[in-house]
Amino acid sequence: MSGDIWNPWHGCRKYSEGCDHCYMYYPDSERGKSGGDIYKVKTNFNLPLKKDRDGNFKIKSGESLRVCMTSDFFLEEADAWRDEVWHMIRLRPDVHFWLLTKRAHHIRECLPSNWRDGWDNVSINVTTENQRRVEERLPILLDIPAKHKGVMIAPFIGEVNLDVYLASGQLETVFADGEKYGSTRPLHYEWVKRVYEQCKKHDVPFSFFGTGNVFIKDGTEYHICKAYQHV
């Protein structure tokens, strides 16, 4: 997962246990703001269509945009703004848009009328944090028509089994990351290894971003500062 970030709206409503120590709430609180305040980011809302002085798009052809990294693309409170975002995505078929959500249940009703079996430049990714949320969200994702689908396990706070979902052949990528803020819940090495081995079995790329603050391996608990968490 690479590319620039596009946040057409900011803020989110905590939805499940993975949200308890949301990374977005902490920088907001340091600025005296609440991460629960949801608003349209007017200065950045039309980022894919912005042009430089020469009339060229600032986001170049072939680039990728990670969308709503300080919110949720399918957040109910953003329903009034989403159609305009879909329109901009449609106007830039040369840019790949990486969408992320915990709200798998809200995806289908929010797809544009001309979506059909999906757009080539859109990847829909569902976040899960444990097996309960895997079983809740991934069947919905697999039932959604989309050209590109993926899974983000973050914060990785419980062992997961993705084998049956990877076997579907629909998941193109799996990402995983430990918890970095709050009263950090540990990530176990064995959990990461299991997902890696399942992805390898089904020939699906797996990316492990970091250990989080607390990492357990061979029965030893390691407290790792942020500078050394990334792998």
Span 32-70, pLDDT tens digits: 676 678 999 999 999 999 999 999 999 999 999 999 999
Predicted local distance difference test score (pLDDT) of residue 29: 62
- Give the C-alpha separation, 96 to 195, whole Å: 26
Q: How far is CA 80 from CA 68, 75, 114, 170, 209, in A?
A: 15, 10, 18, 30, 33
Query: Considering the domain boundaries, does residue 209 fall inside one?
Result: no
Q: How far apart are the first and last CA of the chain?
A: 14
Cis link prior to 155 (omega < 30° from 0)?
yes
Confirm whether 16 is domain-assigned.
yes
- Could you tell me the residue range of the domain that residue 133 belongs to? 4-150+162-177
What is residue 69's predicted lDDT score, i.e. its pLDDT?
94
The pLDDT of residue 230 is 80
In this prediction, residue 22 carries a pLDDT of 78
49 vs 85: CA distance, rounded Å:
11
Classify residue 137: in a domain, yes or no.
yes
8 Å CB contact between 138 and 107: no
Q: Confirm whether pTM is higher than 0.85.
A: yes
φ, ψ of residue 21 to 5 degrees: the values are: -120, 50
Residue 110 is assigned to a structural domain of this protein: yes
90 in any annotated domain: yes
Give the count of domains, the chain: 1
212 inside domain: no
Closest CA to 91 of 117, 116, 112, 68: 112
Assess if residue 210 is contained within a domain.
Answer: no
Whether 200 maps to a domain, the answer reads no
Residue stretches of the chain with pLDDT short of 50: none
Spatial separation of the C-alpha atoms in residues 38 and 17, rounded to whole Å: 20
